[in-house]
Structures are given as structure tokens and as C-alpha cells.
Structure 1
Amino acid sequence: MPPIKTALLAYGLSGKFFHAPFLAANEGFELYAVLERNNQKAKHDFPDVKSFASLEELLVDESIELVVVNTPNNTHFELAKQCLLAKKHILLEKPATATPEEFLELIELAKSVNKQLLVYQNRRWSSDICAAKEIIKSGKLGEIIEVHLRFDRYRPTISAKGFKENELPGSGILYDLGSHLIDQAISIFGKPKKYSIQKGMYRNGTMVDDYAFVHLLFENQVNAFITVSMHVLDIQPGIVIHGTKGSFIKEFCDEQENQLMAGMPPNHPDFGLELKNKEGKLTYIDKNNHTIVERIPSQKGNFNGLFKDVYECIRNDKPFSVCHEEILEQLTILNTK
């Protein structure tokens, strides 16, 4: 099978670090083109890449099979629609759209043109959340009662990125970071039975939420508490799980983002390895009623697993790991007023 010729719609942080390195390293893809209206930065890193000055020009290139829509959140729906109408498969950055209604329209459009609509939720392949999933599956925690997922930052001032700071569809920390954590919870526990949301705006002059708390209630009385904040100077553990027989605590310490920004390619043997002394702490009661404490190392983080799934979906028509129903549920929660 020939590699999938792929185009990026932007070459900012997302394109440069979270997409291009994987497309270049994975033999199933060819990083063929980038949409760059002004500076042609991609050519500095990938001299053979084709540069387009307009989306219209890019979409008429029939050799392009897959388009990565990695533009600001408020543009996702319209750009994805244009790409599908041009009969391209699309990999759509999270949050997929601002509303579930927009995503439903894209689902129907993708079906009508017989193309794949795939959503990029790369943090399902983070080392830390994968470790948590394995601990839950092991049964050592007993029946799960509560799961706390946090994404903390300390950024008390307004950034220069207008698309993130202005009151636009899909803006604010809940859409930006909460979409990761809500997706992780849904990927583990399924569709929540009910949920509640609290958002706050604490920075001087902010027009968007910079704090959010979500409570998801799943089957079997499993509670997931999700917190995203721009106001945490002392970063807290990203994963805390309590069950009837034990607890698991772990930092959000996946190293893939740091490695990519340091220039490590995804096919490097050390890519995805966590730093030393970042193991999770598992405390549980064994069958002899003894309290056991273990340090649990993570497996490698593997964002490349997402791209392998994209390839299998497009070339071999296999189901994609991130299904449309899960994205619709996520967007319904994010869109709650």
C-alpha cells in the first residue's frame, strides 16, 4: 500500500510538534503539504514539503488523501466541512467542533462523501493515563468510587493568542484542556449518566474561563472529578483514584510533549519513556488483609498509536479508537451553559 499523502492546515505548535514528526517518521504516511499563507516555516524542517498559500489551492490537489485540521478551535467546523466536500479524509484536532450539532453535521457529510472523519485525542495514548487504565483493569482497587483528573498550569496573565483569549466558539480552558480529561474519563467508563459543571474567570480582564470543574457520574456510582486551572502554582497529582480496596496516585508526567519540543523524533528508542522517580503509588489490601504499597512504572507513552489507528482506518477500513459517539458526548458536556 502506498503511504497516505497528508497535508497540514497549520504549522504552529500543533503542526510542528504534534503532527509533522509522526507523519514524517511513520512509513504509512507522507508529509506532503502544509498550508502556510505567509512564512514557509515547514520547509526549514522538511525541505521536500509542498507549501500552499490558500486552502482552495491545497484542496484541488488530488494526490492529497488526508488533511489534518489543526487550526484554532473556532475554525474547525467550517474548514472540516470544506475538506470533506473536497473528498478528503480528515484528522480533526480536539475539540472537534464547538457544538455537538456541528459535529453531527460533519458525521453525515463524511458518510455522504465516503470519507473518514477522525478526531485527534492524543492523550488517550499518554503514559500516565495508560498506567491508570491498567491499574483499574487489574482489580486491585476493587470497585472504583472516585477518579480525580487534573490539568494544572500557572498562567495568571492574559496570553497574546487571541483565538484562545477572545470570546469565540470553543475558547476557554474547559474546551482547551478539559476536552482531554473528559475524553479520558469517557474512554475508560463510557457515557456518564449525569454531570455538572462549574466555570470561573479569575484573571484580570479575561473574556474566557480560566478555571473549570466537572463532575461526571457513571454506571456503578463511579464519580469522575475533573479540574482544569490556570491558577495552580503548586502542581497537584494529575490522577488520583480511590476504590473499595485501594488507591492509586500519579502525576501527569507523560514526557512525549517535552521530548518532541526538544527535537526527539518519535522513532527514537527513548521516545515515550517517563523520567525516573515518576512511578505511580498503588496502595491496596491483598487477600490476606495486608496493606501493600507498590511503585508502578508506566509503559511508554505512544502518541504514534493514534497515527497507526488513522492508517488502519483509512487503508484497511478498521474502526478508529476514538468513536463518534464518544466525541458527541464530550461536546455535549463542553457545550453545557
Structure 2
Amino acid sequence: MKTQTLNVGLIGFGLAGRTFHAPLIQAAPGLELTAVVSSDPAKVQAAYPEVTVHAKAASLFTDRDIDLVVIATPNETHFPLAKAALGKGKHVVIDKPLAVSLAEARQLKALADGAERLLSVFHNRRWDGDFLTLKSLLDEERLGRVVEVESRFDRFRPVVPDRWREQHRPGSGLWFDLGPHLLDQARALFGMPRAILLELASLRDGAEIDDDFLAVLEYDRLRVTLRAGCLVAEPTPRFRVHGTQGSFVKYGLDPQEAWLREGESPQPAWGIDPSPGRLTLEEGQGEDAALVEREVEGVPGDYRAYYDGIARTLLRGTPPPVTTEEALEVMTLLAAGLDSYRQGRWVKLKEGGSLPRRLHAKH
């Protein structure tokens, strides 16, 4: 790159664009938000008065000063917008998921590879504090050999809101909303499973599309259960993990999303979780052995790491924070899950099931 500051154009200024992408782009050294595509220019300029507002994405793509295009629009538009941006020589970041089908995702990867452009997906929950804390516990083998993981993302939203995610449209529903987060975290910790089983449900009055799911991932001597629902008022564990030496349980969501929604600006030491997890381990030997529970000092979360990583990739050539291959694996799991639901059976994946070496500890 000729400059040390990259100009970023953001498509979409709804919840994802306004709450997540815009402030995180602005917080990243080497990136500057210079243009936004939105049908509500007043809302954009009230927040970012120096930014150019485009009514259509096509005019953004023809702007030669734009280095990176960020797509934060409904899922069904990800493919056509990313294809057009790559065709104009732009680097591209897409809000999760990469696309609404595996075929579209693979085509985007081929286009990015052919154009020698960056294509990455905003899997920001790799930088949740509770996820980073669990990853640290697994890396240190504190739980021994892990045998069961439950990862949940529950809400209580009994009234179906009027938004595209709740309507019969490609890529709508809870599986395509929260599924990518939970699948990416499981894939990052344990690799690709050897099989997946998915059950979807529409439980709320007036629901048009799935608003509850249960997915089970099968690994070698490990079962990972992913759950999300919209009618869960009682707090449930965000993580519940059991191993041969003990258990880790964490309640409460990473606070970064709530803070961003409240308009707080990302800053150092920002993602400290006020609800630490609890670790229960057996201590002592023989008759003196006893289960001891203690609070776990959490690893701070930091969503800034994603766009910091994007800037380093484009300016210094470092590996991207989320590769296209990783995003494709999440798409593979989303698609295999849908196959499982439609067919009412486990669906095997061609490759997967072998755990990272650190999880094969002999305890």
C-alpha cells in the first residue's frame, strides 16, 4: 500500500453497521471510515459528519479512493455486493455469514483469489472474553480431556419484531443469525466435527421462521451442543464444559455488544467481563480428594482486534484475523446443519472429528 491509512466504505448503517462496524473501524489504527452507503444520510452524518454518504453501493465501488468495502446488509445481499466490490478491485469484509449458500461462498472465494484481494468475515465473537477465557483453560489443559461442551446464546424476546431476520427470506432465521457465532467458536476450539445434527423450531406466536435451534457436533470422544432460543427468560449458562479433571461454567454474555449499543467507544482494557466464570476441580488425593470451586479471572475481550488485524493484513501482509477458508468452514457447517434438519438425521462431513493435540491429553 502507498499510504499508511486505508479508506473504508461501509455499506449499511443499521444495527450491524452503526453499532459494530463503524465504531470499530474508527478505533483501528490505519483505517478511516470515509464513506457510508445508506438510505438515511441524516442519521449517518449526525454520527459521522465528515463521512461521504452514497445512496447506492455502485457509486461507492467506483470511488478509486476506497480501499476496503465493509458489507453490513441483509444476508441475501452479501453475495451480489461482495461480487461487485471484488470486481472493482476492492478488499472486502462481510458481516457474518459469508453468504446464504455454500455455492455462493465458494464463488466469492474464487473471485477474491483471482483478484488477489482480501475477503474476510466479521466473526467478532472470537474476541468475546468468555470465549478467550475458555480457550486459555483448554490450552492449559486445566479441565483434563474435555468430553462435553454446551454453548448457549439465549434471549427472551416473546414479541416477533418487524425486521428482515424474522421474515421468509434467504439467510433469515436464528440459525443464520446466531448459528455462525456458535459454530465459528466451536470450530476455532475443536476444528471441524465429523458429523452434525440440527433441530430447528418456530416457537413464538407469529413466528415465520426458525427462532430456536439445537445443534449437536460429533467429535472423537467429545460432544458439543449449541443452543439458542428467543423464549428463555431464566438465565442459562453461556458455557458449560466438562472434562476428566473438572468443569467450567460461565453465565452472562460478553458485555461488549451492550456497551457498543449504548454508544461507548472501544478503548484499551475495555472488554472486562463483570460476570466471571467458575471452575470446579478435584484437589487432593485418595480419601483427601475433594471438589473445589473457584472464580476464574477472565481474559478481557476485545472486538477491536478484528479490524486491527485487517489493517495489519493490508498494510503489512500479516495473516488476516479471519481467513476465507475459516469462513467457508462455518458455511459448510451451516449448510450441513440445514441438510440434517431437512433429512431428519445426522449428516457426516467429509473431513473432521480429529481434535487438536492439546485436547488429547491423557488424564
Report the TM-score range of the alignment, normalised by the length of the smaller protein: over 0.9
Tell me, yes or no, if the aligned pair for 1:197 and 1:212 is still in contact at 8 Å: yes
SS at the partner of 1:40?
helix
Runs of 5+ consecutive residues of structure 1 not aligned to the other structure:
none
Whole-Å Cα distance in 1 between the matches of residues 59 and 94 of structure 2?
A: 20
Runs of 4+ residues deviating >6 angstroms: none
Across the two proteins, how many residue pairs are aligned to each other?
Answer: 332
Which structure has more relative contact order (CA 8 Å, sep 6+)? It is 2
Give the residue type in structure 1 aligned to 2:48: F
1:49 is matched with which residue?
51
Does the 8 Å contact 1:191/1:326 carry over to 2?
no
Separation of aligned partners in 2, 1:325 and 1:114 = 15
Distance 2:233 2:197 in 1: 26
State whether structure 2 residue 144 is matched by structure 1 residue 142.
Answer: yes
Equivalents in 2 of 1:37, 1:261: separation in Å? 21
The normalised TM-score by structure 1 is 0.95
TM-score under structure 2 length normalisation: 0.88
Aligned-pair identity in percent equals 33
Are the equivalent residues in 2 in contact too, given 1:141–1:245 (CA < 8 A)? yes
What are the Cα deviations for residues 73-96 of structure 1, in whole angstroms up to 9, with x where unaligned?
Answer: 111111111111111001111011
Alignment of 1:1-337 (within 5 A): 1-161=3-163, 163-218=164-219, 220-267=220-267, 269=268, 271-275=270-274, 278-286=275-283, 288=285, 289-335=289-335, 336-337=338-339
Asked whether the 8 Å contact 2:146–2:222 carries over to 1, the reply is: yes
Query: 2:313 & 2:27 partners in 1: Cα distance?
Result: 18
Query: Cα distance, 1:124 vs. partner?
Result: 0.4
Residues 15-42 of structure 1 show CA distances to partners (whole Å, capped at 9, x for unaligned) of: 1110111221222101110002334312
| Structure 2 gap segments, 5+ residues each | 340-363
Shift of 1:260: 1.4
Distance 1:40 1:113 in 2: 35
Tell me how far apart the structure 1 counterparts of residues 209 and 150 of structure 2 sit (CA, whole Å): 24
Kindly provide the CA deviation profile for residues 154-187 of structure 1, in whole angstroms up to 9, marking residues without a partner as x.
11222110x2122111111011011100110000
Partner AA of 1:58 in structure 2 = L
Q: Is the 8 A contact 1:40 1:51 kept in 2?
A: no
Amino acid at match of 2:279: L
- Give the aligned residue type for 1:144: V
Instruction: Give the conservation status (yes or no) of the 8 Å contact 2:255–2:271.
Output: yes
* Contact 1:265–1:271, Cα closer than 8 Å, also in 2: no
- Check the 8 A contact 2:157/2:230 in 1, yes or no: yes
